Each structure stands twice: as C-alpha cells, then as structure tokens.
Amino acid sequence: MKKSTLSVALATAFGAMPAFGQTVDQKLQILQQEIDELKAQTRKPPAPAQPSSPYSLDYSSMLDRSSGLANGGTNIIGYGEVGYSKFRESGNATADLQRFVFGFNHRFDERLTLHSEVEIEHAVVSADDHGEAEIEQAWVNYKMSDAVNFKGGLFLIPIGILNETHEPPTYYGVQRNQVETRIIPTTWRELGFGVHGIVGEGFRYDVGVTTSFDSGKLDDPLTGIRSAHQEGQEANARNLAVYGALNYRRPGLLVGGGVFSGDTGQNGASNPALQGVAARFSLWDVHAQYRVAGLDLQALYTAGTLGDADKVTAALFAADPTTAFAAPKSMKGGYVQAAYHVYKEGNFDVAPFIRYERIDIRQAEDPANDLFQNPNNNERIKTLGVNFWVHPQVVLKADIQRYTTDKTQDAFRLGAGFMF
C-alpha cells in the first residue's frame, strides 16, 4: 500500500474515533513509534516476563495482567551510603563506602515471592580488610491474604523502627542512631519462620520462631548482645527464640512495639563453659513517629536483659583471659528526635534535625579477674544535622555529634545515600 493511501485510510479511521483535536500527524508519529518498538522487539530473543513493566497500551491486556498478577518476574533493588567523618579530638578523618546493598526479588506466582538482599560493607572484602560480604535477607513469603502471610528463611526481626526500614533516605543523620545499633542490633536478622499481616485499619502484626543469639560468641564489650548475633552463618540452634511485634500505621503516624526472647547458651556449642547454661536474652521496645505540618517527631525506648550474665562472663574468661570482658546483664536506651522540613520544592526537600540518645548497658563484673564495667557503656549522644533530599530516593547529609562519655567519637560528618 502506498504511504499516501495508508495515510488516508488511517485518517479515515481516526475520524471515526472520539475527537480530541490531536492531529493526524501526531497520531501517525505515535503509530510510527509503536511500529519501531514492535520491530525492535521482534529482533530480540523473547525476554522473561517482567511483572513490573507497565502494560496499559491495551486495556484488555491490562485487565488480564491485573487479574493474573503476572508470574515469573525478577526485580533488582538496592541502596547504599558513603560517609566522611572528621573526629574532633584526634583530628583524624575517614571516608568510607559504608555499605552497598543489592537484592533480587522474585515472584513465583501470585502468592509466593522471594526477597533477598546482599550487603557489602566498607567497599573491599578480603582477609586483610575490614569489609564484609553478607546476606542480609533471603526469605520466601506466601501470601494467603493481607491479613495472613507466612514467611521463612533469613529475615529481619521487627524490633524498633530502623531494623526493618534502614535505607539511608529514610532516616536522619549520616550514621544510623546508636540506640538502634548498640542495643537493638540493626541490621538484625535471624533464620526462622513467621506469620505477618495487616488486620483492621492499619494494625500490622508479625510473630514467629527464629534462631537466637549465642552468648559464647560475644566479642565486643560496647554493643550489648550485638556481637553474639549469628546472622544465619552456621547458627547454633539448640536454643531458639520467639518474637512478636505490633505496629499501628496511618498517614503521618506510627506507634508500635516488639519483643524478642530466647536462650543463648546453645548448650555450650561455641563455649563449653556454657553447657547447661540458659543465658536467656529478652529485649523489647516501644516507638512512635508523628509527622505533621513539616514537623517530623520520633521517639524510641528499648530495654533488655541477659540471664546468667555472670556465668557468661566466667565462660568468656575461661575461653580466653586476655580478651575476656564482663558480659552485658541489662541494657536500656532510647532517643527523641525532631526534624522540620524548612524547604520543599519539587524533588528538593531540606530538613534540619536534632536527636538526643541515651545508652545504658550494665555488665556482670568479675572483680576477681579484673573484669569491670566499661564506662563508655553509659553514654549520651547529641546529634545536630541536616538531611537534603535531592530526590525522594537520594539524600545528602551533614551532622555534628557530641558524646558525653567517649569524647573520641565526637565528630563532624558528611554523607550521601540512595535507594532504588
């Protein structure tokens, strides 16, 4: 068919459609785009189904997709952050690619999905470097309904605010807050299974059974139970733990809490002196976030205990007297934070913030072996800074931190983060 004949035919056809005043040339231009795209597609080998490719070229196919909830698609997600710290007391400065995380999420069918994240910390991973490569999440979710989902694998424990929502553009400050680092050991994940869902108008519950800590693996006196985490790495699982969380969300408001409890002795698997020692660890938190008229308020309180802490201290000393320290027996802490969005135009959003944190970790001292409370476990931290979002998913940050006890941590920091 000659081009002129085609044009006449198309013009006639378009004339029968609802009139929107769009010219035939414009429509021909669009059709040419469609033809070019179809040509390009026929040249390529067939691609696997992508559930996230929009498909509203033809509404009838959209209906099919919406009903069928296309299967077999894999999405890539990720986030990362870089930071610069200039320490006040020593004058030293460091710059670090703190973390780069990528993940693959796969939909097997309309109910069954896989969620995964792989994290690389500090840019380089080798025997001589500080970097770590780790699986942060790898779990399968089976959705029966919004109210009932089953999950199994390595997943995040729903305690606190930061542990489950820790992408850099979602929190204030170059570094994550210390309460949800040293007391709630973010990013805290365990192997296990759970049930979660939304009930009523905005109540999200999450309960389950997981691996627990192994107190025989404690190797850091300043981070409570954190260094006893197992992170799904050949975890000793003689003792399991249970967790539960309930959060209420509505626009601008989050109120919730969670609890985790499990023995950590692991029958002495990593430290024979803990054989028969329960060393039960329990931790709970309550938190709230409220956003109104540019004001962003957030508060969290958390407390926990480690049973048989004196026996854990003795076990650490028995394993290696040169590195032993007094095990944590109780820990509590909290923070309050306020931010105000002073400028918002397009994607740009600027919010100065202030945060006050309190950390109090008590250790089971053993004076006979010179194992005492570390003074840096009684800390107050003030942070003053600003977040500048250049895009909802990309943020620049700056802050100043002042520690009451450990002055070596006083610092000026710059950072940037992203998520996709």
Partner 1 sequence: MTRAARRLLAPLALAVAASGVAQGQVYQEPDAFIAEVFGSKPAPKVLWLTKDIQEQVVAILGHPPTQLRQRYWSEGAKSVWILEETGKEELITAGFVVVGGRIDHVRVLVYRESRGQEVRQSSFVKQFKDAKLAQGNRLDRDIDGIVGATLSVGAMERMARLALLFDRLSHDKVHG
Q: Which of residues 300-339 bind partner 1 (CB under 8 A)?
A: none
**Tokens coding 275:** 């054989």
Query: What are the Cα distances from residue 241, in Å, to 67, 210, 223, 233?
Result: 39, 5, 20, 16
- SS3 label, residue 230: coil
CB of residue 139 vs partner 1: minimum separation in angstroms?
10
The DSSP element (H or E) to which 317 belongs, if any, is helix 309-319
- Residue of 145, 234, 322, 367 that binds partner 1 (CB under 8 A): 145
Stretch that binds partner 1, among 104-112, 217-225, 300-308, 377-385 (CB under 8 A): 104-112
Q: Helices 3-15 and 24-43 meet at what angle, rounded to 10?
A: 110
Tell me the C-alpha distance between 214 and 277, whole Å: 11
**C-beta closer to partner 1: residue 194 or 328:** 194
**Tokens coding 202:** 């905005």
CB of residue 393 vs partner 1: minimum separation in angstroms?
8
- SS3 label, residue 160: coil
**C-beta closer to partner 1: residue 170 or 227:** 170
- CA 269 from centre of chain: 30
Tell me the C-alpha distance between 390 and 382, whole Å: 26
* 249 lines the binding site for partner 1 (CB under 8 A): yes
Tell me the C-alpha distance between 381 and 409, whole Å: 10
* 110 lines the binding site for partner 1 (CB under 8 A): yes
Query: What are the Cα distances from residue 384, in Å, to 299, 343, 401?
Result: 16, 17, 7
* 286 lines the binding site for partner 1 (CB under 8 A): no
* 107 lines the binding site for partner 1 (CB under 8 A): yes
Stretch that binds partner 1, among 85-93, 284-292, 302-310, 407-415 (CB under 8 A): 284-292
CB of residue 227 vs partner 1: minimum separation in angstroms?
23
Residues 49-68 binding partner 1 (CB under 8 A) are 51-57, 59, 62-63, 66-67
* 34 lines the binding site for partner 1 (CB under 8 A): yes
CB of residue 208 vs partner 1: minimum separation in angstroms?
8
Rg (CA), the chain: 27
* 289 lines the binding site for partner 1 (CB under 8 A): yes
Which residue has 């050991």 as its token pair? 185
Write the interaction track for partner 1 spanning residues 159-198; mark x where CB under 8 A is met and - where it is not: --x--xx---xx------------------------x--x
**Tokens coding 345:** 């135009």
* 78 lines the binding site for partner 1 (CB under 8 A): no
**C-beta closer to partner 1: residue 215 or 239:** 239
* 250 lines the binding site for partner 1 (CB under 8 A): yes
- Residue of 115, 329, 355, 362 that binds partner 1 (CB under 8 A): 115
Stretch that binds partner 1, among 244-252, 268-276, 301-309, 358-366 (CB under 8 A): 244-252
25 backbone dihedrals φ, ψ, rounded to 5°: -60, -40
Residues 6+ away with beta carbon under 8 Å from 228:
213, 214, 215, 216, 217, 218, 264, 281
- Residue of 46, 251, 367, 375 that binds partner 1 (CB under 8 A): 251
**Tokens coding 396:** 């620049």
**Tokens coding 128:** 């001589």
Write the interaction track for partner 1 spanning residues 343-372; mark x where CB under 8 A is met and - where it is not: -x-x--------------------------
Residues 388-417 binding partner 1 (CB under 8 A) are 392-393
Q: What is the DSSP letter of 12?
A: H
Contact 381, 357 (CB under 8 A): yes
Stretch that binds partner 1, among 38-46, 203-211, 303-311, 350-358 (CB under 8 A): 203-211
- Residue of 22, 90, 275, 404 that binds partner 1 (CB under 8 A): 22
- CA 84 from centre of chain: 21
* 102 lines the binding site for partner 1 (CB under 8 A): no
**C-beta closer to partner 1: residue 18 or 367:** 18
* 44 lines the binding site for partner 1 (CB under 8 A): no
Q: Which sign does the torsion angle of CA 49, 50, 51, 54 carry?
A: negative
